């Protein structure tokens, strides 16, 4: 018997990890919004099932919802495969239609019975410890742990079993087709697994958490690595970190747990967006600055070479006129010259800059690599 807080954390972590796994493939297939689409579309399934069973607590509602989830996924994929619309439009066509039918169904059939959707499917993590599984009087722990644990295990097994096939059909569906795989079947399998995970997790953990964990950890992981297996691993870790960090935040400040998880996930993404090595904004800016300086040094030696030994050498290759002729900011020019000196490409002779042997060679190499063309220089 665990403490309620631990049970909630466990379910949050399991849900985060279980959603992050299929999320990676959805991210790569431009289907990141499928969770959100399913969350709206299942209204249709719930309403239709309700009109048949007329009982808000019936387990059939969940089955109806799951059925609509799979239906949405399959319909979107079928629509996309016709080639008439792209992924995003296919999603955007299917779910508002189903949602509208659901709303019409409520207005038409449900009449004055108040169909409280919150009670039907929007699970709430805080209530996890109260919904327990028992067997012959034994307390087996919260149902949520079993559901989310089972889904995580299922997703993990499926991904391990179909890793090669899904990788290939995600990155190169044409090649997969030629090699005799069936990308369409593989895709339907993935979407079916996703729909099942999403709907079951809605019931346990709520829509907010599921939609966030399906998108945010995979997108963050994509900024941190270029390798699919690492992306899957990182995604799960980020899902876990969002779950535990979010729970801590919610516990400390008495806030919505799922909302806090999504917020922490967003903060982790923002950190990666700024600071990721290679893909982060800071790394991009530093690389751009490095390239700018590199180009400036190349321009400097070529400029010096082209005027070397000419009459205008003292006018052109002199510290005073260089910033003007190369259209550089004086401070930038000073830094470029200083670095060129450190690299041993140039030496100062009073006001005059002279190429060293190494600098001359570097300049010749650059000109050579430009197909022998003389770069413009004034």
Partner 1 sequence: MGFAFWLDPTFRLVAVGSALIGAVGGVLGTFALLRRQSLLGDAMSHAALPGIVLAFLLVGSRDLPLLLAGASLSAWLGALLVVLITHRSRIRPDAALGLILSVFFGFGIVLLTVAQRQPTAAQAGLERFLFGQAAMMLQRDVEGIALATVLILVVVLLLWKEFKALAFDPAFAAAIGLPVMALDVLLTTLIVLAIALGLQAVGVVLMSAVLVAPAAAARQWTHRLERMVILAGGFGALSGVLGTLLSGWIGLPTGPMIALCASGIALFSLLFAPRRGLVWAVQLPRGKRDAGPSG
Helices (H), 254-356: 257-275, 281-307, 313-316, 322-325, 330-342
- Return the bridge partners of 355, or none: 346
Find, among 265, 154, 145, the residue nearest to 204 by Cα. 145
Residues in the chain, overall count: 378
Question: Cβ(317)–Cβ(359) under 8 Å?
Answer: no
> Among the candidate windows 278-286, 287-295, 313-321, 334-342, which touches partner 1 by CB under 8 A?
278-286
CB of 311 to partner 1, least distance (A): 38
Helix/strand number for the chain, H first, E second: 17, 4
Q: Is 289 one of the binding residues for partner 1 (CB under 8 A)?
A: no
Nearer to partner 1, 151 or 258 (CB): 258
Whether 95 contacts 41, CB under 8 Å: yes
Q: Count residues contacting partner 1 (CB under 8 A)?
A: 58
DSSP letter at 317 equals S
Residue (96 or 375) nearer to partner 1, CB: 96
Rounded least distance, CB 66 to partner 1, Å: 21
The structure tokens listed for 320 are 């005073």
User: In whole angstroms, how far apart are CA 57 and each of 53, 68, 147, 323?
Assistant: 10, 18, 18, 78
Is residue 104 near partner 1 by the rule CB under 8 A?
A: yes
Under the binding rule (CB under 8 A), the answer on residue 266 touching partner 1 is yes
Tell me: does residue 70 bind partner 1 (CB under 8 A): no
Note whether 275 binds partner 1 by CB under 8 A.
no
Phi, psi of 277 (to 5 degrees): -65, 130
- CB of 73 vs partner 1, minimal distance in Å: 15
Q: Is 354 helix (H, G, I), strand (E, B) or coil?
A: strand
Instruction: Measure the N-to-C terminal CA separation of the chain; round to a whole number of Å.
Output: 81
Nearer to partner 1, 262 or 337 (CB): 262
Among 2, 255, 288, 347, interactor with partner 1 by CB under 8 A: 255
Residues 191-220 that bind partner 1 (CB under 8 A): 208-209, 211-212, 214-216, 218-219
Whole-angstrom distance, CA of residue 14 vs CA of residue 93: 32
Contact call for residues 66 and 120 (beta carbons, < 8 A): no
Residue 264: CB atoms within 10 A of its CB come to 23
Give yes or no for residue 325 binding partner 1 (CB under 8 A). Answer: no
Q: Using the rule CB under 8 A, is 32 a contact of partner 1?
A: yes
Are 66 and 122 in contact by the 8 Å Cβ rule? The answer is no
Q: Which is nearer to partner 1, 204 or 337 (CB)?
A: 204
254 sits near partner 1 (criterion: CB under 8 A): yes
Q: Does 269 bind partner 1 (CB under 8 A)?
A: yes
Is there binding between residue 273 and partner 1 (CB under 8 A)?
yes
Q: What is the CA radius of gyration of the chain?
A: 30
Binding of partner 1 by 99 (CB under 8 A): yes
Give least dist CB 120 to partner 1, A: 16
Work out how close the CB of 219 gets to partner 1 at its nearest, in angstroms, rounded to a whole number: 5
> Minimal CA–CA distance to 195: which of 276, 279, 293, 95?
95
- Which residue in 281, 282, 324, 374 binds partner 1 (CB under 8 A)? 281
CA distance 284 to 287: 5
> Please, what is the minimum distance in Å from the beta carbon of residue 343 to partner 1?
31
Stretch that binds partner 1, among 10-18, 44-52, 100-108, 307-315 (CB under 8 A): 100-108
Q: Residue 79 or 147: which CB sits closer to partner 1?
A: 79
8 Å CB contact between 301 and 340: yes
Residues that bind partner 1 (CB under 8 A): 27, 30-33, 35-36, 40, 79, 82-89, 91-93, 95-97, 99-101, 103-104, 107-108, 208-209, 211-212, 214-216, 218-219, 222-223, 250, 254-256, 258-263, 265-266, 269, 273, 279, 281, 284
């Amino acid at each position: 018997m665990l403490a309620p807080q631990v049970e909630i954390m466990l379910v949050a972590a399991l849900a985060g990890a279980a959603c992050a796994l299929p999320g990676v493939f959805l991210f790569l297939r431009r289907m990141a919004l499928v969770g959100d689409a399913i969350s709206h579309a299942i209204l249709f399934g719930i309403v239709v099932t309700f009109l048949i069973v007329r009982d808000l607590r019936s387990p059939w509602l969940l089955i109806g919802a799951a059925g609509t989830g799979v239906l949405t996924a399959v319909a979107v994929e079928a629509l996309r495969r016709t080639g008439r619309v792209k992924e995003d439009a296919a999603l955007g066509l299917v779910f508002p239609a189903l949602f509208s039918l659901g709303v019409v169904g409520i207005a038409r059939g449900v009449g004055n019975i108040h169909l409280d959707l919150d009670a039907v499917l929007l699970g709430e993590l805080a209530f996890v410890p109260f919904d327990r599984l028992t067997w012959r009087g034994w307390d087996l722990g919260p149902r949520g742990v079993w559901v989310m644990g089972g889904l995580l295990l299922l997703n993990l097994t499926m991904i391990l079993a179909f890793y090669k096939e899904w990788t290939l059909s995600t990155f190169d569906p044409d090649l997969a087709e030629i090699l005799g795989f069936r990308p369409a079947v593989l895709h339907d399998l993935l979407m079916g697994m996703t729909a099942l995970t999403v709907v079951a997790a809605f019931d346990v953990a709520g829509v907010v958490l599921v939609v966030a964990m399906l998108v945010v950890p995979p997108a963050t992981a994509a900024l941190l690595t270029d390798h699919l297996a690492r992306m899957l691993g990182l995604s799960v870790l980020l899902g876990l970190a969002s779950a535990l960090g979010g729970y801590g935040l919610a516990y400390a400040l008495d806030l919505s747990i799922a909302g806090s998880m999504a917020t922490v996930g967003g903060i982790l993404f923002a950190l990666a967006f700024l600071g990721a090595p290679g893909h982060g904004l800071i790394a991009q800016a530093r690389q751009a600055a490095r390239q700018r300086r590199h180009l400036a040094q190349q321009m400097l030696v070529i400029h010096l070479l082209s005027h070397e030994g000419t009459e205008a050498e003292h006018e052109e290759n002199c510290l005073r006129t260089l910033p003007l002729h190369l259209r550089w900011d004086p401070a930038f020019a000073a830094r470029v010259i200083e670095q060129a000196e450190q690299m041993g490409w140039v030496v100062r002779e009073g006001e005059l800059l002279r190429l060293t042997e190494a600098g001359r060679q570097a300049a010749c190499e650059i000109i050579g690599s430009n197909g022998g063309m003389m770069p413009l220089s004034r």
